Amino acid sequence: PMAFILDQPLRLSINGIQVVSIVILGIFHAGIVYMLYNLLIKSEGALLASFSNYIVPVVGVLLGYLILKEMLLIKHFIGICI
């Protein structure tokens, strides 16, 4: 509710390319990931699938460091260890 009051997101003007990009990200990519997650649960079980959710942030931080040359701080290492 505060975002609607402070940022007023409904006043944004978006063009057709942005709408198509949002639809593609929302439908196709999310659908594919959801389908793969269900296949993982079916083939390997819910325990392994739940563990895979803990790996996603670690991979994201490492990819940011390797590809985007982002800085790694001590808090990142602490988060990875936790």
Q: What is the pLDDT of residue 48?
A: 85
Q: How buried is 16 (Cβ within 10 angstroms: 0-12 exposed, 13-18 middle, 19+ buried)? A: exposed
Could you tell me which residues come within 8 angstroms of residue 30 by beta carbon, excluding any fewer than 6 positions away?
A: none
Residues 8-60: pLDDT tens digits?
777 778 888 998 988 888 888 888 888 988 999 999 998 888 888 888 889 99
Residues 61-78: pLDDT tens digits?
999 999 999 999 999 989
Could you tell me which residues come within 8 angstroms of residue 5 by beta carbon, excluding any fewer than 6 positions away?
A: none
d(CA 18, CA 77): 35
Cα-Cα end-to-end distance for the chain:
32
**Domain spans of the chain?**
1-44, 54-82
d(CA 29, CA 16): 19
Q: What is the pLDDT of residue 38?
A: 92
